[in-house]
Structure 1
């Protein structure tokens, strides 16, 4: 899509916005890809979640196995970073098992659920959406 087509598409999605209802649209791709591409911190967390979700596809991993997977994922992302791999390319590699249905998005999301991150690590549209949700409604 051209920039003009994207702007028109977002405008069409936002046509129903009014009052407290507001549309927030990714400026990249899917939520999962956006999270992985937002920062190296989130790329690491997403790689840990996706690797665990891949492992859980056949049977639920033990706590020791999950710890090993977390460590391996952290090392992989650090290696990509050290090798000069772009964050966008790392995000593609992280997202691939989800896109190809080799891992459950639901399981990956559940594994991320209890992880605290800072606004600076999140995609800007998510920060804006959370800010909107957490702002008291005007009377």
Structure 2
């Protein structure tokens, strides 16, 4: 039974529920090889896949078309700001749609990235109607 339970946990995330079981904040500084980096602190990066669904969607939303595997502290603050911004109907509708599609809740990060970019292309953020 314990082996079966471990099979559903990947990188500290329960793949059945999406619950983050532990914090996966990683620090990728390599001070031993580069003395220049020893004086500047390495950025603290968070793996997007370990974040809740709403944050995963918003991470790809702020990626400007680029796939984000990690987010730094400033990007994480932007994700939290967007999540709390109830006046931004575009973002709130995107989150509502993501939460109401059962298959989307289980999607891998690359698929979330492709879907968010497709939505931004079809329904531009600036509100202009696309020509079909």
TM-score, normalization by structure 2: 0.30
Query: Where is the strand percentage greater, Structure 1 or Structure 2?
Result: 2
Q: TM-score, normalised by structure 1?
A: 0.29
Q: Which has the higher helix share?
A: 1
